Amino acid sequence: MSQITTVAAALISLVGTALPSHKRLQNPYHLEDNPEPLLKQGWGIRVDEGLNTKRQISQPYFLARTFSVVLTREALAVASDPATRETAMLGLLEDLHALISTTFTDMTLGGSGFDFRYDSDGGYQEVFSEEKPYFYIEAKFVVEYSQSVSGG
């Protein structure tokens, strides 16, 4: 097993711990393909770009891998009810805050990396599933880790 498997498992555990009342999405890449009960208050992880940090020119090699953690909330109201929509949107920010706060308790991601941090997010977005609106926010987290060429 390579180090990326350990990193991914540690990230899944961290998000599940930070957001215990949320359900894990089946498909974080295509939110509209998820069942509505998961989108009401869900999370998922997308694997994004990796960067060779060139800390060493021989093995092990060092990578900074970006993961997007997608958080979803049901948009409980129509556009004509801004207060209720705002409540759902603020709930997403509170979810994000809980997740970011958890990263500060373990900046090595369970020892699987040596630099784990929140990087940025894309702000509120909206997706429709079966004509129902859901808000989501995609937060970028970066973990740097070393990987032996031989695998483990």
Could you read off the pLDDT tens digit of each residue along the chain, which spans 152 residues? 788 899 999 999 999 999 999 999 999 999 999 999 999 999 999 999 999 888 776 677 888 999 999 999 998 766 677 787 888 889 999 999 999 999 888 888 888 888 899 999 999 999 888 778 899 999 999 999 988 777 55
Kindly report the pTM of this predicted structure: 0.89
The C-alpha atoms of residue 34 and residue 25 are separated, in whole angstroms, by 7
For residue 79, the model assigns a pLDDT of 63
The predicted structure's pLDDT at residue 109: 85
The phi and psi torsions of 57 (rounded to 5 degrees) equal: -95, -5
Write out the DSSP string of 65-90: EEEEEEEEEE--S-TT-HHHHHHHHH
Among candidate residues 92, 96, 93, 75, the one with its CA nearest the CA of residue 84: 75
Name the helix (H) or strand (E) containing 7. Answer: helix 3-18
